[in-house]
């Protein structure tokens, strides 16, 4: 029997029948423990997670402690790996939306939007998307931005012991999720934004529902501000905690609220507009203290700006009754859908037409749904400003009906690099605040 050691430290033994036997050896945890033991120091290395309630999902933090002080912090990821990007290679371009919407499940509509923008670049139809479809996308994304920030503040407050913050945050989020359900049939993981437009037009009464809920959401955000802004306990926990200045953000590729809390007004909706954002009147809030408190205040400011954009969108939707899917029938996934009491499905008029009046329409519908449309060979990258930062999608086509490759730049993945810079030198309690201020969602990190 011969033994070989590969590049990863694993030993392979060749037995008589040439069957390889692989022996797995210890990983980084064992190395840390051995090192601590050899130095004969009073050091403690602990796992925080991956099941800890304050790690925003299955995030593992490896903390080296000197008493209550964190001397070294590292993030361990991969516990929520779902193979979404690989699975998309085995589905049509439209079916890919159903996969990517599940990445960062707190902001599903942004995942759908960036993927569709990338596919539309490959198809060369970016300028052909109907104005009403673009407005609906903006409406849903800005409402989703508010729900994402509300989850961040609600869970962050809960982790610091402020349960009232959680109940208010989730109460206001619920108002918006009911709107999502009315429009798409689902509260999350909608698969509503499709290449070429959206799956269906807004159901009757949706704009009125949005208009009625906006003042209530605004009032709820105001309640959070009254509870938190000048709260001495909250400021004591968050001010000068999780500090990361502009230099650190640039070095680590940080984007979103963490970056804007250092004073830099970088927002892709302004610097590289998409979906018609250049036609909306809004501001990019910034803060300059670079700490967890600045990120909290910044997210509140952003929610008010999102409400401002939503008010402009619903006015435009009232004035523009146009189509919601691109005209090219070789690309346009059937958009004659209706949301009823039983969820979402084809409208009766559309079924009656394709089943009883036009055999060609029925055949085309069948082929488009089962085989999908073809995308010219090439590659494209699209990026949007998600609630957590720059969300990018790089798609590659080989000319077929399925993505050759789809890869996402998830902001939580990049932003988690800052855990060490924010946490080392602080206390264990400060780690919880620092991670909450980053607002990572592990579904997007691991994909």
pLDDT tens across 63-120, in order?
888 888 888 888 888 888 888 989 998 988 888 899 989 888 889 999 999 999 999 9
Phi and psi angles of residue 64, each rounded to the nearest 5 degrees, phi first: -105, 125
Mean pLDDT of 387-403: 91
How is the chain split into domains, by residue range?
2-76, 84-446
d(CA 27, CA 7): 13
Percent of the chain with pLDDT over 70: 84
pLDDT, mean over the chain: 83
Please compute, for residue 113, the number of CA atoms within 13 A of its CA located in the half-sphere on the CB side.
Answer: 25
How far is Cα 120 from Cα 128, in angstroms, rounded to an integer?
A: 9
With left for phi above 0 and alpha for psi between -120 and 50, is residue 435 left, alpha or beta? alpha
| 84-446 CATH choice from 1.10.645.10, 1.10.1660.10, 2.40.30.10, 3.50.50.60 | 1.10.645.10
Backbone angles phi, psi at 191, to 5 degrees: 55, 40
The count of other CB atoms within 10 Å of the CB of residue 30 is 10
Q: What is the pLDDT of residues 131-179, one digit of tens each?
A: 889 999 999 999 999 999 999 898 888 888 888 888 999 999 999 999 9
Tell me the mean pLDDT in the region 418-437. 86
- Residue 298 CA, chain-centre distance (Å), reads 18
Q: Choose the most confident range, by mean pLDDT, from 136-150, 187-201, 363-377.
A: 136-150
Q: Are the C-beta atoms of residues 64 and 72 closer than 8 Å to each other? A: yes
Tell me, what's the pLDDT at 342? Answer: 47
Q: What is the pLDDT of residues 222-258, one digit of tens each?
A: 998 888 888 888 888 888 888 888 988 898 888 989 9
Task: Give the distance between the most distant pair of CA atoms in the chain.
Answer: 84
Helix (H, G, I), strand (E, B) or coil at 151: helix
Given this model, what pLDDT does residue 304 score? 92
Burial state string for 408-436 with b = 16 or more CB within 10 A and e = fewer than 16: bbbbbbbbbebbbbbbbebebebbbbbbb
The pLDDT of 344-369, averaged and rounded, is 67
Q: What is the DSSP string of 249-271?
A: HHHHT--THHHHTTT----HHHH
Nearest in space to 93 (alpha carbons), one of 369, 360, 424, 280: 369
Alpha-carbon distance of 202 to 55, in angstroms, equals 37
User: Considering only CA atoms, which of 326, 408, 343 is closest in space to residue 125?
Assistant: 326
Q: How much is the pLDDT for 349?
A: 65
* Helices marked H in 160-200: 163-184
Separation of alpha carbons 129 and 322, rounded Å:
11
Which residues sit opposite 394 in a β-bridge? 381, 407
Contact 73, 63 (CB under 8 A): yes
d(CA 142, CA 144): 5
């Amino acid at each position: 029997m011969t033994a070989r050691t590969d590049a990863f430290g694993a030993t392979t033994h060749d037995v008589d029948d040439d069957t390889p036997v692989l022996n797995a050896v210890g990983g980084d945890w064992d190395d840390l423990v051995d090192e601590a033991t050899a130095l004969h120091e009073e050091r403690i290395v602990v796992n925080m997670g991956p099941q800890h309630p304050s790690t925003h999902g299955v995030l593992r933090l490896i903390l080296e402690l000197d008493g209550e002080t964190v001397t070294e912090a590292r993030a361990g990821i991969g516990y929520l790996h779902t193979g979404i990007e690989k699975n998309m290679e085995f589905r049509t371009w439209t079916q890919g939306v159903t996969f990517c919407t599940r990445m960062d499940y707190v902001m599903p509509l942004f995942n759908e939007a960036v993927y569709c923008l990338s596919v539309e670049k490959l198809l060369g139809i970016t300028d052909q998307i109907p104005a009403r479809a673009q407005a609906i996308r903006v409406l849903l994304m800005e409402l989703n931005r508010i729900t994402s920030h509300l989850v961040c503040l609600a869970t962050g407050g809960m982790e610091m012991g402020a349960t009232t913050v959680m109940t208010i945050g989730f109460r206001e989020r619920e108002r918006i999720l009911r709107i999502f359900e009315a429009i798409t049939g689902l509260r999350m993981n909608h698969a509503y934004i499709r290449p070429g437009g959206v799956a269906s037009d807004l159901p009757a009464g949706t704009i009125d529902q949005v208009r009625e809920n906006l003042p209530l959401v605004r009032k709820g955000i105001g309640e959070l501000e009254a509870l938190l802004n000048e709260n001495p306990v909250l400021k004591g926990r968050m001010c000068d905690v999780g500090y990361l200045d502009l230099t650190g953000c640039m070095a680590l590729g940080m984007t979103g609220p963490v970056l804007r809390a250092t004073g830099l007004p970088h927002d892709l909706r302004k610097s590289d507009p998409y979906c018609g954002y250049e036609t909306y009147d809004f501001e990019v809030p910034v803060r300059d203290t670079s700490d967890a408190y600045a990120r909290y205040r910044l997210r509140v400011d952003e929610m008010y700006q999102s409400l401002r954009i939503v008010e402009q969108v619903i006015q435009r939707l009232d004035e523009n009754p146009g189509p919601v899917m691109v005209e090219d029938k070789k690309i346009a996934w059937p958009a004659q859908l209706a949301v009823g009491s039983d969820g979402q499905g084809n409208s009766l008029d559309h079924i009656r037409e394709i089943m009883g009046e036009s055999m060609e329409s029925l055949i085309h519908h069948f082929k488009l749904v089962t085989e999908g449309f073809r995308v010219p060979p090439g590659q494209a990258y699209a990026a949007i400003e998600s609630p957590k930062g720059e969300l990018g999608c790089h798609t590659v086509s080989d000319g077929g009906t399925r993505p050759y490759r789809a890869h996402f730049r998830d902001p939580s993945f990049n932003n988690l690099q800052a855990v060490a810079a924010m946490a080392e030198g602080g206390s264990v309690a400060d780690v919880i605040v620092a991670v909450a201020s980053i607002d990572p969602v592990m579904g997007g990190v691991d994909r």
